Structure 1
Amino acid sequence: MEGLRLPRTQRRQQILAAAAQAFAETGFHGTSLADVATRVGVSQPGLLHHYPNKQALILAVLEERDEEDSRHLEETFREADPSVVDWLMALCEKNATQPELVQLFTVTAAESLDPAHPAHEFFQRRYRRIRQAVATRVELDQQKGRIDPTLVPTDLASELIALMDGLQLQWLMRPPVDMCAILRRRLERLTAAAGVAARQGGARSDA
């Protein structure tokens, strides 16, 4: 029996939430449309009315989560000039409230290494976009003296993304690590090093 009839937008959100949980638990290949339909309380044809196949469904789930992260950052820093530390910590603290979505991205990113995976291109584009966004923040911080100007922004961006991904994986394990505390300490060392470099540069110029 079909679940209670809902407005289209509300039903799609319900489907995406159920699909995100299913994909996080069993991966793309282990999840069936029938399972998602059961979780939502609709028939499989009813589910297909909104998403024509499993490939379209997982891409919709991933894109919705990325859009939500973008909205969160825009709202958080609407009237601010965030440093890369502020920006990454805001993401980490948000992720700490949604373990199911962190698990979804961790599992699906690993699966997507297969070029035949439906999310392969999504994650290729996503990592390029995130690296560029973090590198841009690093460059702005270097101009303001917050980060050592001798560091290569794209290299540092890759390092910080790898750190966050690795911490998220360990956070999902038991016992979990305190990923945001570890990340903050690493970022504070990064900005502290910039202060040391600036003082040393000033001392040399005065000599």
Structure 2
Amino acid sequence: MARMSAEERRESVIRAATAEFARGGYHGTSTEAIAKRVGVSQPYLFRLFPGKRAIFIAVVERCIEDTIRTFEEASDGLHGEEALSAMAQAYRRVIAEEPERLMMQMQMYLAVTAAEADGDHEFGEAVRRGWTRLWDTVHLPLGADAGETTSFMAYGMLINCLVAMGFPPDHRVWAGLAPAVRTADLRAD
């Protein structure tokens, strides 16, 4: 069996860390747990990444990039309602097939809040830059309409919260999304 390159090992760490951070958050996840999941020693983990924060930031960047790519691929060549519907359907698949990505999104928002409360604004800036890129990715296919973009993102965040809290699709809390049928299809089945 061929040995993995350092880059392949970094990818393994990012995947393992995504699962660990999605479940335990930044403060509740140990580098030991990440190393164990990857099958490497902690010293080797720190040869790949200078520390836990660097691993977390790599995971955050990957999560945002994957979501941007999801929306770009879904809306390619589409505009307006067609783009909105395609992006909503694509995100529905993410929620159903990649729940760790959804939970990682929630964890990164919590980590920004905690870091900023401790006076660390650098981390929040990195996350806000990524989120702004995500907003821009949605904005153009929706006709560069700030209202449509804000509405799409707001519904998405509400849906993230409802899914993260475990509300089943038939629960009454989803009823308020009925007028926004185009975004209601983000709910996981």
Normalised-by-shorter TM-score class: 0.7 to 0.9
Deviation per CA, 1:18-61, whole angstroms, max 9, x where unpaired? 11111111111111212211111111110011111111111111
Q: Distance in 1 between matches of 2:71 and 2:98?
A: 16
Unaligned runs of 5+ in 2: 184-189
Query: Residues 64 and 122 from structure 1, CA distance in 2 versus in 1: closer, same or farther, beyond 3 angstroms?
Result: same
Query: Structure 1's 47 and 86: CA in aligned 2 closer, same or farther, altered over 3 A?
Result: same
Report what 2:141 is aligned to: 137
Aligned counterpart, 1:108 = 108
Percent identity over the alignment is: 26
Out of 10, 21, 24, the residue aligned to residue 26 of structure 1 is 24
Offset from partner CA, 1:88-121 (integer Å, 9 cap, x none)? 3323322321011111111221231242276411
Q: Tell me the distance in 2 between the aligned counterparts of 1:117 and 1:32.
A: 22
Whole-Å separation in 1 of the counterparts to 2:74 and 2:141: 16
The equivalent position to 2:78 in structure 1, one of 73, 78, 81, is: 81
| Closer/same/farther in 2, CA of residues 118 and 39 from structure 1, 3 Å limit | farther
Runs of 4+ aligned residues of structure 1 deviating over 6 Å after TM superposition are 181-185
Q: What is the alpha-carbon distance in structure 2 between the residues aligned to residue 185 and residue 50 of structure 1?
A: 48
The residue type paired with residue 61 of structure 1 is: V
> CA offsets, 1:48-84, max 9 Å, x none?
1111111111111121223233444444455x32422
**2:149 matched to which residue of 1?**
157
Counterpart contact for 2:84–2:182, Cα < 8 Å = no
Please give the residue correspondences for 1:122-201 in structure 2 after superposition, counting only pairs within 5 Å.
122-139=126-143, 153-177=145-169, 186-188=180-182
Tell me: CA distance 1:73–1:156, structure 2 relative to 1, closer, same or farther (3 Å).
closer
Look up the equivalent residue of 2:92 and give its one-letter code: C
Larger gyration radius, structure 1 or structure 2: 1
> Please, which moves more after superposition, 45-54 or 32-41?
32-41
Tell me, which stretches of 5 or more residues in structure 1 are unaligned? Answer: 141-152, 190-207
